[in-house]
Each structure stands twice: as structure tokens, then as C-alpha cells.
Amino acid sequence: MRNHVKFLWSEILCFLLLLLLLLLLLFSYPCHVEAKSTIEPCNSSDSCPSLLSYLLPWDSKLSEIATRFHVNVSDIMASNSMFPITPSSAHQILGAKSLVKIPISCSCVDGIRRSMSTLYTVRASDTLASISDGYGGLISGEQIKSVNSINGTNPLASGGTLVIPLPCTCFNNVNNGGSAIYMSYVVQRGESLRGIAAMIGTTISDLETVNGLAQTQVDSGDILSIPIAACSSATLNWYSESMMVPNGSYSLTASNCIKCTCEAMNIKMRCVPSGLDVPCYNLRCKGSNLIIGDEYVEHSKTGCNVSQCVYRGHRGGKIFSR
């Protein structure tokens, strides 16, 4: 009887061990899959405006986010349509898990599109994994290690400076024949291409084409390049200024006197005085009562007469309009 019980116990133990092994295999499997990201080869030294979609790992002040990515607070605010900008804006706290758009300049380094202008100062408690976490998965610990040649003889040292290579694409700032700015997006656990397409307001096939995906399967940690329709000044006949503003955001120009918004309804650039506390001149169109951004419609028997005062660029402190 005792022997029989013993036998049963060893059977159960064996079964449990097998189960454990199976579970271990199952859970470790995703760790061995290298996250995919969209690579754009390049051969020039030009750069383009691009965005990062940053999922805040913890509550952060705007100023902390700006420091982390080496970007101005006001530029982050503009990309996220936060207005107005005041001296206390930098102290504004955004909650963990907020998605924040970070504007970065996408350059061409060693034949691949990426941004290399972000530097990180190592703190005493940092590990490669914790630094990667701080960037919301936009860069892996392995990539930081490789770009900065971190090894046994060159370890992570507190106070040292690391280059953080951030993923970005330009694709000539065009998508489906229209102007576009590309945003790097980290796929989260449980997200599907369909869900991401719906959230961004694009189609699955568009995302597949841009990212060269053979199937609709995406995995958590993958980095997708997401085209966002943009307003471009290229067709607006501006003097000595060019600007590209993604849908749903604005950009300040002319020494912060002018605020140009890319209107979601028709992807049209609309520039008006910013109203910010800065000295601004020439905001009125010559020989007219209209201020930049104003439109005046006069109805008559023969039709209607539309008078507009439209922003046309700036140079040397002078604002042009017509």
C-alpha cells in the first residue's frame, strides 16, 4: 500500500514537472521573437519632420519628457494640440499610460533613417532595461547596448552619456499622393493592426503597404510606421518659409506670432495670430481692415465677394500676408 502511494506521488511529480516545463516553454517563447520594426534605407544627409508615439511609462512633467527626448516643451505641446503655452506649461503633469506625440527630426545615419540627436545621462540605478522602459519601448536595451558599444570593458557607467537611436521614417513625406508625416508606434500587448488603423484613422492595407507587412499579424513590441496626413505650405506660395503640420496639431512660426493649425476636416492649413504674449507687428493685411486669418464674405446680386487676409511666410522679423 505504501509503495503504491509512493508510485502515485512520483507520477504526479513527474506530471507537474512536465507541465512546468511546458508552461516555461510557452511563456519564454515570445521573449525569443525579435520585435520587428520598419526600416527605411536612405542615402542622403537630409532630414525630415517625424513623430514618435510615446506611451508614458510613469507620470511625467512636460519638462521631463522634453529633456528625455531633447525637444522643446512648446514643440511637444504643439504636436499634441495643447494650447495656450504659458510659463507654467513645463510643470504640467501627464499621467502614466498617456500617449504623447514627440516631434523629432528624422535623419539618415549609416544608410538607415533614424534620429540620433537624443542623448541620455546614465543614473546610478539604471540598467539597459530600465533605460529602454523609460523610452516606452521605442528602443530596446539591446539596441542601446550595440550603438554605444557597451560590453565588459565598457560598462554602463553612472554619469556617462548614451546615444539613444530612435526609430523614424520619412518616405518622402508622401502617402497616397498626399503630404504625410510618419509616426513610429510601439504595438502594445493585445493590439491588432485593425485596432491601430481604426485609432489612427487609416486603413489596414495602408499600414501593410507602408510597413511592408506580408500578413496582418503584429506582435507587442513591434514598431510600426504610421502615416499621418499633413498640411504642407508647399502649395501655399509662402515667401522663404516651409512648414509641414500633421493633422490634429499646430505649429508656431514668425517668432511665435502666428499659429498654423492643420484642420482635421479638410487637411487645410489655417494660420492666425497666436495671441501669445510676444510682440507682433504687421498682422493686418495692407490696405484692408482684415487681420491674418480673417475672411470677409460680401453678398451681392452678382454673387459673393470673398476677401481674405492670408499668412504668406516671414523673413527678418517681417510677416507677409495677402
Ligand X SMILES: *[C@@H]1O[C@H](CO)[C@@H](O)[C@H](O)[C@H]1NC(C)=O
- 291 three-class SS: strand
Question: Is residue 43 within the footprint of ligand X (CB under 6 A)?
Answer: yes
Stretch that binds ligand X, among 46-54, 135-143, 208-216, 295-303 (CB under 6 A): 295-303
What does the DSSP 8-state code read for residue 278? S
Beta-carbon count within 10 A of 223 CB:
26
According to CB under 6 A, which one of 264, 268, 295, 315 is a site residue for ligand X?
264
Q: Pick between residue 28 and residue 43 the one whose CB is nearest to ligand X.
A: 43
To the nearest whole angstrom, how small is the minimum distance from the Cβ of residue 253 to ligand X? 12
C-alpha grid cell, residue 311: 499668412
To the nearest whole angstrom, how small is the minimum distance from the Cβ of residue 289 to ligand X? 12
Stretch that binds ligand X, among 21-29, 217-225, 275-283, 296-304 (CB under 6 A): 296-304
Residue 16 phi, psi dihedral angles, 5° rounding: -65, -40
Closest CA relative to residue 48, chosen from 165, 183, 161: 183
Q: Residue count at the site for ligand X (CB under 6 A)?
A: 19
Site string for ligand X, 160-199 (x = CB under 6 A): ----------------------------------------
Q: Pick between residue 152 and residue 190 the one whose CB is nearest to ligand X.
A: 152
DSSP 60-115: EEHHHHHHHHT--HHHHHHHTT-----TTGGG-EE-TT-EEEEEEEEEEETTEEEE
Contact positions with ligand X (CB under 6 A) in 120-159: 149, 151-154
What is the residue whose three cell numbers read 513625406? 173
To the nearest whole angstrom, how small is the minimum distance from the Cβ of residue 128 to ligand X? 15
Site string for ligand X, 62-81 (x = CB under 6 A): ----------x--x------
Q: Pick between residue 126 and residue 220 the one whose CB is nearest to ligand X.
A: 126
Residue 69 near residue 52 (C-beta atoms within 8 A): yes
Question: Is residue 45 within the footprint of ligand X (CB under 6 A)?
Answer: no
Residue 271 phi, psi dihedral angles, 5° rounding: -110, 130
Question: Is residue 110 within the footprint of ligand X (CB under 6 A)?
Answer: no
Q: Where are the alpha helices (DSSP H) in the chain?
A: 2-28, 62-69, 73-79, 128-134, 141-147, 193-200, 204-211
To the nearest whole angstrom, how small is the minimum distance from the Cβ of residue 265 to ligand X? 8
Question: Is residue 30 within the footprint of ligand X (CB under 6 A)?
Answer: no
According to CB under 6 A, which one of 305, 317, 318, 322 is a site residue for ligand X?
305
- 191 three-class SS: coil
Residue 224 near residue 184 (C-beta atoms within 8 A): yes
Q: Pick between residue 267 and residue 272 the one whose CB is nearest to ligand X.
A: 267
Contact positions with ligand X (CB under 6 A) in 229-248: 229, 247-248
Question: Is residue 300 within the footprint of ligand X (CB under 6 A)?
Answer: yes
What are the Cα distances from residue 117, in Å, to 24, 60, 68, 81? 40, 21, 11, 24
Residue ranges in contact with ligand X by CB under 6 A: 43, 72, 75, 149, 151-154, 201, 229, 247-248, 264, 267, 298, 300, 302-303, 305
